[in-house]
Amino acid sequence: MTNDERCRRKIASDPSCCACNYPCETPLHVLSDCQVACDFWHQVLLVALIRSFFECNLQQWISCTLTTTICYPQSTLPWKLLFASLTWQIWKRRNDLIFHSPDAISDTTIISRNIVWAKYYSDGKTVSKASSSSPRSRVMDRDVLDPDWIYLNVDGAISLSLSDGSIGGLSLAWKQGFEKVLVRSDSKQVVDLVNSPSAASSVLSLTRAIHRLRQKSWATIVCWIPRDDNRHANAIAKLVNSSDYSLHVYQDPLLEVDLLLFNDKNRL
């Protein structure tokens, strides 16, 4: 809710923008006219479109922008998806600034999240849901989630000598801006630990860190799956150097797990 609307409902007395101190913070101001948003849009839009982009009321701004076909030359994704994702990220950054962190998310991070979100949604629309008559039914296949959920399979492995573990995958999902993440592990002990009502005060620092991360403004589910259904995560864990716990991000599947991913995708 903007400060202008909060004042209209008599639950606030200051209608000014919390980011740039403009006297009246309306939805259009937050998404377009605020200096923070304006600087961002100048990085995204084609120069020829910038002037008309800032000369409309809210309804005209949305309808005119959605009917524009070429606005973001850095991506081949449909502009409607990109625009919807960009405006949501701007609104989310404003709310994060107010309710969570005094440090604003950078424009670079927003653009990166935007492309990831839009690509995921675009790809998800082309993938049909698994048939309920599939001969090999997984635990979570029985409760089909909507396509907005990201599936994160984890091994739950720790160093036997140091008792060290990692939450790099979950942290990466948060940094990418995903809002619905289904974490699946074949370790019942891990699942029970992080889902425990006492996770916040656990004697294990890793469990407390996971709990704090899950308390952020997103939805997470942690569930158990059979080890046989988590073979790709287990295979990746076995490739890790025992002395290296830094986060490694691979754009393409490793050769060692490529076949496992193919079989998993095709329910083989």
Between 265 and 213, the more confident residue is 213
Q: Are residues 221 and 173 in contact, defined by beta-carbon separation less than 8 angstroms?
A: no
pLDDT bin (cut points 50, 70, 90) of residue 127 is very low
Which of 1, 22, 213 is CA-nearest to residue 95? 1
Q: Which two tokens stand for residue 39?
A: 């600087």
Query: Tell me: the pLDDT tens digits for 60-102?
Result: 888 877 777 666 666 777 888 888 888 888 888 888 777 766 6
Q: The whole model's pTM is what?
A: 0.52
Task: List the domains of the chain with CATH numbers.
Answer: 3-124 (no CATH), 140-265 (3.30.420)
pLDDT for 57 beyond 90: no
Report the percentage of the chain scoring pLDDT > 70: 75
Query: Tell me: the pLDDT tens digits for 139-190?
Result: 444 345 566 788 888 876 655 444 445 677 888 888 888 888 899 988 888 8
Helix axes 107-124, 79-99, angle to 10 degrees: 130
Residues 6+ apart with CB under 8 A from 106: none
pLDDT bin (cut points 50, 70, 90) of residue 58 is confident
Query: Tell me: the pLDDT tens digits for 34-49?
Result: 988 888 888 887 766 7
Class of residue 222 by CB neighbours under 10 A (exposed 0-12, middle 13-18, buried 19+): buried
